[in-house]
Amino acid sequence: MRIALGCDHGGFPLKQRIVALVQAAGHEVVDCGTDSACSVDYPDYALKVGEKILSGAADRGVLLCGSGVGISVAANKIPGIRAGICHDTYSAHQGVEHDDMNVICLGARIVGEELAVELVAAFLKAQFTHEERHVRRLNKVLEIEREALEGKFKRN
């Protein structure tokens, strides 16, 4: 697979280990930056990774920030992106198997390098099951997304 990898300065300390893991697992890294520990804005990198997936330039994504929170919130604003923070290996594979998660988000200030590598490895190995109940639930998620795009949900 082609894996879009993006991070802010908070996620940058994990970046090279994740690049090495993705490549060692036989996948291609689509590098979306950032390339240093200089302060940047995490939504910019969530958008870059989301665009790669939507354009077909990448199959899945990995996003890294300090906590994993900001970058997952930003990524989930992009229709078609299903991003989850996964700081345990069960969620890292189950999120793909049940929920068709296409982006994993990690907090580099929360997980160490060795756990991060195991999390991304579990994410990369997992496949959506296509079981009826999971497809039904995914379709409900996609329907919420469609309705939001049509302007159904208004905040007072």
CA gap 152, 143 in Å, rounded: 11
- Point out the catalytic residue in the list 27, 87, 98, 134: 98
Q: Where are the beta strands (DSSP E) in 68-139?
A: 83-85, 103-107
CA-based R_g, the chain, Å: 15
Closer by beta carbon to ligand RB5, 10 or else 50: 10
Q: Of these residues, 65, 86, 93, 105, which one is catalytic? A: 65
At closest approach, how far in Å is the CB of 153 from ligand RB5? 24
Q: What is the largest CA-CA distance in the chain?
A: 49
Shortest distance, CB of residue 76 to ligand RB5, whole angstroms? 13
Least spacing, CB of residue 33 vs ligand RB5, in Å? 14
CB of 78 to ligand RB5, least distance (A): 16
Number of helical H runs and strand E runs in the chain: 6, 5
Q: How many CB atoms within 10 Å of residue 68?
A: 26
Interface residues with ligand RB5 (CB under 6 A) are 8, 10, 42, 65-67, 69-70
Cβ-based nearer residue to ligand RB5, 109 or 146: 109
Choice between 67 and 91, CB closer to ligand RB5 = 67
**Residue 9 is among the residues annotated as catalytic for this protein:** no
CA 127 to chain centre: 14
Question: Is 65 among the residues known to form the active site?
Answer: yes
Cα 62 from Cα 99, distance rounded (Å): 16
Point out the residues that are catalytic.
65, 98
